[in-house]
Chains A and B, each alone.
Chain A
Amino acid sequence: MKRLRWDAILGLLGVLLLLVGSYIGLFLAPPDRHMGEVQRLMYVHVPTAWISMLVLTAAFVFAIASIWTGKPKWDAAMTGATEVGVVFGALLTAQGMIWAKPTWGVWWDWDVRLTTTLIMVVLYAGILVLRSFVDDPERRATWSAVAVIVGYVDVPLVYFCVRWWRSLHQIQSSPETVASSMVVPLRINSFAILFIAIWCIAQRARLEMARRRGESVALPPKRAPRTAEIPGTPQGVDNV
């Protein structure tokens, strides 16, 4: 019998927790005093926001490790975390739009929180797209690690902008300001989405490592120095 890998167990646990947390959030937690039933979106929207930012923070750390060590495994982990961050960030934006319509009366507003989140998603999606145009694996790793590090400037902005500037979006809640019956499904879904994200990153990183192995097989051997082709050229001097 094939043994389940650690990430598969984590992924399955994530799905199970998401079902339990969503059931509690949808059917057992009380409706919000001001927003009524629509507030139940919080149990998927807020965990998705937390995990998106956490995953992009992991991408930032992997990018530093990739530049520091030059090891392909960190580049693969960074790619995985960036892609998962983009997917979860896009989902976060869509969930926010669904919540905005009944509460703000519009699907979208160029509010500071919404705008910085959109910039975050587009920025990291752009890094993934541009990355696919670079053929040399080492240049691709260095270039995209630098881009991920520079792009990370936007992630703390997404988190703190509601405190620093006037925003339509509410500031962060804490367990002291939220009823305990609402904190439980929020926490369960946060761990659920974290476990699912880890599974996704592990899968995507393995895919990237396999791609890299395939590239090293497919790449032609490096050309001999041009000096060898021209008789009479001193050895070690490039004649470009």
Chain B
Amino acid sequence: MSETAMPEGVIVGAWNFVIGGYGLTALVFITYAWSLWRRRKASDRDARSNG
């Protein structure tokens, strides 16, 4: 290991940030997909009710 390299695990709680990042990504994708699906259903319902 070079002198400038930090020893592995020097970042305290690194896995918490990793889990936070992946969790947020999953949350945003699921929420946005659900929002699109819900809006699409509402739009289809409106179209049916308007004939």
Give A residues with C-beta under 8 Å from B.
11, 18, 22, 26, 31, 33-38, 40-41, 44-45, 48, 87, 90-91, 94-95, 98-99, 101-103, 196, 199-200, 203-204, 206-207, 210-211, 213-214, 217
Q: List 27 A-B contacts (CB under 8 A).
A: A26-B18, A31-B8, A33-B1, A34-B6, A35-B11, A36-B8, A36-B14, A37-B9, A37-B11, A38-B14, A38-B17, A41-B18, A87-B28, A95-B25, A98-B17, A101-B17, A102-B13, A102-B17, A103-B11, A196-B33, A200-B32, A200-B36, A203-B37, A207-B40, A210-B43, A214-B43, A214-B50
The answer to whether B47 touches A200, judged by C-beta atoms less than 8 angstroms apart, is no
**Chief secondary structure at chain B's binding surface:** helix
Per-residue 0/1 for B11-50: is the Cβ within 8 Å of any A Cβ (1 yes, 0 no)?
1111101101110110011001100110110011011001
The answer to whether B40 touches A206 (Cβ under 8 A) is yes
Distance (Å) between the CB of A205 and the closest chain B CB? Answer: 11
Question: Chain A: which residue is nearest B32 at the CB level?
Answer: A87
With an 8 Å Cβ cutoff, the count of chain B residues facing the other chain is 31
B11→A102 contact, CB < 8 A:
yes
Main secondary structure, interface of A, reads helix
CB distance from B3 to the nearest CB of A (A): 12
Q: Is the CB of B43 within 8 A of A98?
A: no
B40, chain A: closest CB distance, angstroms: 6
Closest B residue to A203 by beta carbon equals: B36
